[in-house]
Amino acid sequence: MTCVAKADEVVVVFAGYNYEGDVTSKVEFSEGSSDTSINDKDFEVPGVCKFAFYKKVESTGFSYINPSGQTPHLQWAKQTLLNISPEKGVTITKITFACTTAGYTQNLEVDYPENFGECITEGTTPYWTGSATSDFGLTFTPKKSNPMRFSYMTIEYSEETSSIDNIAIDETTPARYFNLQGIEVANPTKGKVYILRQGSESTKIIM
């Protein structure tokens, strides 16, 4: 039995924003208004993850999806946690938030687990990067008094498949295995990572 990790990405678009980027897989969440809270509501990105916003302290502010105005957006309220739950077999490696303006771009932070991955703020696209197979939480520290507003977020992830039979390969050509340094291995060891080369196809696998 061989497990194969396939890298992929999906863009999650809010409030009917007209996304014109390079990511072909897209999930949209458009309904809402500035008067309708999305706190404690579960959102699902099929086959990838679920996410929800939770208030960390009692306050009047709430997160919402706002399709009106010049820049449709999701408003992430201050003192609010974004919890992400990867689906079974999925490893999330990066989440990038496309903020509406510099004024609504805040300092992204990891809430839990402690020191889990890394948060970077570059221009108007703060992002988290790491390796998540179970729940983790993100929050932010405002650079100004504003909340955080973003029109979409891009989720990069890898998905394990249970069998090498799922890969399109040339069955008539013998399989060859190479370690990550490019040296061919005659007898691959179970549990180690190799590059499988068969015909014109090359794939990273775990034996």
Query: The domain that contains 12 carries what CATH number?
Result: 2.60.120
Q: Are residues 181 and 101 in the same domain?
A: no
Separation between Cα atoms, residue 80 and residue 52, nearest integer Å: 10
- pLDDT at residue 104, rounded to an integer: 95
- pLDDT at residue 171, rounded to an integer: 57
Q: Are residues 105 and 30 in the same domain?
A: yes
Q: Are residues 78 and 100 in the same domain?
A: yes
- pLDDT at residue 2, rounded to an integer: 40
Query: First and final CA of the chain: distance in angstroms?
Result: 7
Q: Are residues 151 and 172 in the same domain?
A: no
Of 29, 30, 56, give the one whose Cα is nearest residue 43.
29
53 touches 81 (CB < 8 A): yes
Residue 189: domain span: 167-206
Of 84, 85, 69, 79, give the one whose Cα is nearest residue 32.
69
Q: How far is the CA of 36 from the CAs of 73, 105, 134, in angstroms?
A: 13, 22, 29
Separation between Cα atoms, residue 10 and residue 49, nearest integer Å: 11
Nearest 5°: CA angle at 69, between 50 and 124? 60
Q: Are residues 157 and 191 in the same domain?
A: no
Q: Are residues 187 and 142 in the same domain?
A: no
Q: Are residues 117 and 34 in the same domain?
A: yes
- pLDDT at residue 44, rounded to an integer: 96
Low-confidence ranges of the chain (pLDDT < 70): 1-6, 161-172, 180-181, 199-200
Q: How far is the CA of 192 from the CAs of 91, 169, 195, in angstroms?
A: 18, 21, 10
Count of domains observed in the chain = 2
Q: Are residues 152 and 181 in the same domain?
A: no
The identity of residue 37, as a single letter, is S
139 touches 82 (CB < 8 A): yes
For the chain, state the CA radius of gyration. Answer: 20
